[in-house]
Structure 1
Amino acid sequence: MTESTWFVIAIVIYMFTMLAIGYWSYVHTSKYDDYVLGDRGLNPFVAALSAGASDMSGWLLMGLPGALFVSGLSELWIAVGLLIGSFVSWSIVAPRLRSYSEIAQNSITLPSFFGNRLRDHTRSVRVTAALIIILFFTFYVSSGMVSGGRYFEATFGGDYLTGMIIVAAVTVAYTFIGGFLAVSYTDVVQGLIMFLALILVPTMALLTLDNPADIFTWATEHDYGPWTDGTGNPEFFSMFTGVSVATLIGHLAWGLGYFGQPHIVIRYMALRRPSEARRGRMWGILWMGLCVLGALATATVGTVFFSQNPDIAVTDREAFETIFLDMGRILFHPLIAGLVLTAVLAAIMSTMSSQLLVVSSSLIEDLMTIFLKKRPEEMVLVNLSRTAVVAVSVVAAALAVNPNDSILGLVAFAWAGFGSAFGPLMLFSLYWKRLNTAGALAGMVTGAVVSFVWGSVEALSGTIYEMVPGFAAAALVTWIVSSVTRAPSAEVQSDFERASKLAEIAESDPDVDIAEAGRRLEA
């Protein structure tokens, strides 16, 4: 059989696995809370890998190895920022949000939590948050579909539109059928595929080298990839060469995004108990750290691997983002190589499915239901959410049919946009009693607008990553407006104090859930 045939077989195996998980999730989904939040029954291992897989996307497998291959360890700062941000987020946001979201009228979406936390009867905070999510994530989902089409185009030499439709159809199918459980458990499988591929590929490449120790000196002494002047890249192993203070701050600031990413924090809300955030943090940081090391190993080994044999070369001769894929193709039997290549597809689909579910939940839970006089029955809400998944995917697919720079460019702002709009608001919601509706609304809008404008203006975006001014502006505006306007009602402040006490009880004892914490507090 031809190489492409083996690749197709591997992809079919992967796709049917995803659909099987979707069906299993469908069987275990009997009510609306199941479909949107897994009925808050996610174990920490699943929550951690699901959050990681939906976060990292193709950047971990293609963007990071390519950047490290070209520039060296100076490109690691974003990964360092993400690791720090993820650790801090699991530490201070996850346990408190798990407690407070249940206390705040059992909030099952991020906008509903913000609205219920403030008892915002105007619904302005909830609606604004939902609109920000729907706008940005619809384009984000579209970008995932574009990536899926490009993947099929590059891997099989096939038609872009056909590949896009296949990836979109399977992702929509298991999300439509199984909801949150399907998205979470497929993310686990996808996260494991990404992890195993990132460990296996550089390890096997290392074993093929004439002298494995060359990986520590080759890049600094020999030509490779883009370095062709006879001296290699002498600063390959330096993390500081060519990195300005502004660049360093901007790269580390990527970690701030974790506080406000809707598709990540929703996993915190779905944990079984607040105390399980500790184990989630352990699994999440371990997975992310090993994956980053795998990406680093891929780049470092790649400098020797592609130089040692003149008969092989990196397909992408500009950004060198295909070194991981090229290694997999060269090293393994086509069937195994095909399974390795599915790691990229897994990264694309895990992110896209998480975003689809968040958007559909915001459409139904945060926009439609709040304007209805009577809340629909459970299964009606489930079916409406499924309908929303399809509707969003159709819009995203329409945008992806003819991809252009405006769509893909907007995605570059999404991480900073969500981090700036929701990150400060999340921290204030969980830890500041004085937060009020006016401050929350002003800060959220400020963060989104500042990060978007800053990232759109080349003269500004070239100075520092838009997350920094966006996050800072949102935090400052939230604090100022909340301080100079009317304090939240006594009821809201009482809710905050009770939530804080319940959270402390639930976080301190691994056997206590919120209901038991409430009984202990009353006693």
Structure 2
Amino acid sequence: MSQNTWFIIAIVIYMLVMLAIGYWSYRQTDEYDDYMLAGRGLNPFVAALSAGASDMSGWLLMGLPGALFVSGMGELWIAIGLLIGCWANWMWVAPRLRSYTEIAGNSLTLPSFIENRLHDSSRALRVLSSIVILVFFTFYVSSGMVSGGRYFEATFGGSYIDGMLIVAAVTVAYTFIGGFLAVSYTDAVQGMLMFAALLIVPVMAYFALADTSTLFTWATDKPYGPWPEGNPEFFSMIKGMSAIGVISALAWGLGYFGQPHIVVRFMALRTPGEAKTGRRIGIFWMLLCIIGATAVAVIGTSFFGQDPSIAVTDQENFETIFLDMGRILFHPLIAGLILTAVLAAIMSTISSQLLVTSSALVEDIYMIVVKKKPSSQVLINLSRTAVVAVAVIAGLMAMNPSDSILGLVAFAWAGFGAAFGPLLIFALYWRRLNTAGAITGLVAGAVVAFAWGQGWLNPALEGMGLGALTDLYEIVPGVIAATLGIVVVSLATRKPDEAILEEFDQATMLARAVEKNPDMSVEDMAEEIIDAPEAR
């Protein structure tokens, strides 16, 4: 059989496994809460791997190895920032958010939690939050479909449209029938596949080297890839990096606090106490994956440099180095399974974003319009319809991909991080936060991040002699603007009502109680705290 035939067999096996998980999840889904949050029964292993897989996407398997191969270890600052941000998110947001959602009206989405937290009867905060999610995630889903089309185009030399439609159809199918449970478990499988591939490929490449003694000298002294005479600064994380560059790279970690498709996993945990286990699993997974991606780049310099008969397919950004290693080292069937790791990364992100976007449509917009809450089955069917509708719109946008779409996707991480990150932290930890401050922070973060990322503020910065700041990653000014807006406006306007303050105190008591008794049912503990005289 030809190489492509083996690749197709591997991908068909993978697709069937994803659909099987979707069908199993469908059999477990009876209520609306099950479809949206898996009935808050997600174990920490699945939560950690699904959060990691939906977060990392193709960047971990293609973008990071390619960037390190071309530019050297200076690109690791982004990975370090993300690792720190991931740890902080699991440490400070996960347990407190899981606890607070029990007190704040059993919230199922991030916008509904923010509204319930502040008792915003105007619904403005919920609607604004939902609009931010709808706009950016529609473009994000479209980008994933574009990636799927490009993947099939590059791997099989086939049609871009056919590849995009195949990826979209399978992803929509298991998201449609299985909801959050299907998305979480398929993401966990995809996370394990990514993990295994990133560890196996560099190890096998190392043993395939003709001369292993050059592993840490080839990149600096010998020709490889884009460096005809080697890169003497390959292993330096400082040389060639400006202070603005390092700050911008580390600032990627700030984005974690505001990513709706990540924090929703925290809301679905069985108990707040399991966030500690999830943190350990998630950080361990992420750390080893980053080490594997780094090893691909380092070993790749010798692997491709020593053998002139092989080369990286992508000679511009060298982002296919991981895929090319897999093709060269393994039997086509195994190589095909390794190639599916990239497909897994793409699909895991699409599915998570589809579900969050559909929840914004149904839970955060439709439920505001209707006066009487529909039955669980009606809500599930509406959510499934929303999944298809968003996928169709995103697919139409992906038919003719443009730079503007891809540019907005690059901005989305900063946009979500700046709009929701500071707001969520203040909502969980600051008693004085009010609705006016929350709305100001949400809008300021999104607007400043967008304007900065699009370069609209560059003339003003250059006119003030601050031209160097034009290279600053937009999440930094976005987070600063959001933080200032939240604090200044909250302090300048009326303090929250006593009912809001009392609820905040109950949530704080619950979070502390959970830390002391992590095995106790959070629902029972919440009832005890709410009913306790000192809570009232």
- Same-fold call, TM > 0.5? yes
Q: Residue type of the partner of 1:501?
A: M
CA distances 1:57-110 after superposition (whole Å, capped 9, x unpaired): 000000000000011110000000000000011000000000101210000000
User: 1:516 aligned to 2:524?
Assistant: yes
Deviation at 1:518, TM superposition (A): 3.0
Shift of 1:170: 0.1
CA distance in 1 between counterparts of 2:103 and 2:27 reads: 28
Task: For residue 62 of structure 1, give the secondary structure of its aligned residue in structure 2.
Answer: helix
Runs of 4+ in 1 over 6 A off after TM superposition: none
Q: Counterparts in 2 of 1:357-436, with a 5 A limit?
A: 357-436=355-434
Amino acid at match of 2:176: F
d(CA) in 2 for partners of 1:38, 1:204? 39
Alignment match, 1:355: 353
Query: Which residue is 1:43 aligned to?
Result: 43
Pairing 1:283-294 to 2, within 5 Å after superposition: 283-294=281-292
Residue 73 of structure 2 corresponds to residue 73 of structure 1: yes
Alignment-derived partner of residue 481 in structure 1 = 489
Residue pair 2:257, 2:417 contacting (<8 A) in 1 also: yes
TM superposition shift of 1:213: 2.9
* Residue 520 (structure 1) shift: 4.7
* 2:511 matched residue in structure 1: 503
Residue number in structure 2 paired with 1:189 = 189
1:54–1:264 contact (8 Å) kept in structure 2: yes
Counterpart of 2:449 in structure 1 is 451
Deviation per CA, 1:473-519, whole angstroms, max 9, x where unpaired? 10111110011011111110111011110111013222123223235
State the match for 2:305 in structure 1.
307
CA deviation string 1:11-63 (max 9, x = no partner): 10000000000000000000000000011100001000000000000000000
Trace 1:62-461 onto structure 2 (pairs within 5 A). Answer: 62-228=62-228, 230=229, 232-457=230-455, 459=458
Counterpart position of 2:479: 471
Structure 2 CA distance, aligned partners of 1:203 and 1:247? 31
CA displacement, residues 101-126 of structure 1 (integer Å, 9 cap, x when unaligned)? 12100000000000000000000000
Tell me if the contact between 2:102 and 2:523 (Cα under 8 Å) persists in the aligned partners: no
Per the TM alignment, residue 223 of structure 1 is displaced from its structure 2 partner at its CA by 1.1
Which structure 2 segments of 5+ residues have no match? Answer: 462-468
The offset of 1:462, in angstroms, is: 4.3
Gaps of 5+ in 1: none
Deviations 1:205-261 (A, max 9, x none): 000112223211111111111001x3x111111111111111111111100111010
Measure, in 2, the Cα distance between the counterparts of 1:209 and 1:404: 40
Partners of 1:331 and 1:116 lie apart in 2 by 54
Asked whether the 8 Å contact 1:152–1:158 carries over to 2, the reply is yes
Match of 2:26 in 1: 26
The count of corresponding residues between Structure 1 and Structure 2 is: 521
Q: Give the aligned residue type for 1:44.
A: P
TM-score, structure 2 length as denominator? 0.96
> What is the distance in 1 between the residues matched to 2:523 and 2:304?
58
- CA deviation string 1:327-359 (max 9, x = no partner): 000000111000000000000000000000000
Between the aligned partners of 1:168 and 1:453, the Cα distance in structure 2 is: 31
Q: Distance in 2 between matches of 1:267 and 1:468?
A: 25
Is contact 1:218–1:303 with CA below 8 Å preserved after alignment?
Answer: yes
| 2:138–2:393 CA contact under 8 A, matched in 1 | yes
Instruction: State the Cα RMSD in Å.
Output: 1.0
Do the aligned partners of 2:102 and 2:526 also contact (CA within 8 Å) in 1?
A: no
Other-structure match for 1:491:
499
Tell me the amino acid that sits aligned with residue 475 of structure 1.
Answer: T
Secondary structure in 1 aligned to 2:348?
helix
Q: Which whole-Å deviations, capped at 9, do the CAs of 1:424-465 have from their partners, x for residues lacking one?
A: 000000000110000000100000000011000174784200
Paired with 2:303 and 2:98, the residues of 1 have a C-alpha distance of 46
| Partner SS for 1:37 | helix
Decide whether the 8 Å contact of 1:274 with 1:513 is kept in 2: no
Cα separation, 2, equivalents of 1:112 and 1:464: 32
Tell me, in whole angstroms, the C-alpha distance in 2 between the residues paired with 1:72 and 1:454: 27
Q: What is the distance in 1 between the residues matched to 2:47 and 2:83?
A: 16
Q: CA deviation at 1:303?
A: 0.1
Residue of structure 1 in register with 2:464 after alignment: none
Contact 2:103 2:526 (C-alpha < 8 Å) held by counterparts: no
Rounded to whole Å, the distance in 2 between the matches of 1:29 and 1:406 is 38
Question: Residues of 1 paired with 2:271 and 2:401: CA distance?
Answer: 42
**Comparing 202-211 and 418-427, the one that deviates more:** 202-211
Q: Indicate the percent of aligned positions where both proteins have the same amino acid.
A: 67
More displaced stretch, 74-83 vs 209-218? 209-218
Counterpart AA for 1:311? S
Alpha-carbon distance in 2 for matches of 1:507, 1:98: 12
AA of the residue aligned to 1:496: F
Letter paired with 1:210: A
Q: What secondary structure is seen at the aligned counterpart in 2 of 1:313?
A: coil
The letter of the residue matching 1:194 is M
Question: For residue 426 of structure 1, what is the amino acid of its counterpart?
Answer: L
Q: Is the 8 A contact 2:139 2:409 kept in 1?
A: yes
Hey, what's the Cα distance between the residues in 2 that align with 1:408 and 1:189? 27
Cα distance in 1 for partners of 2:203, 2:111 equals 44
* TM-score, reference length from structure 1: 0.98
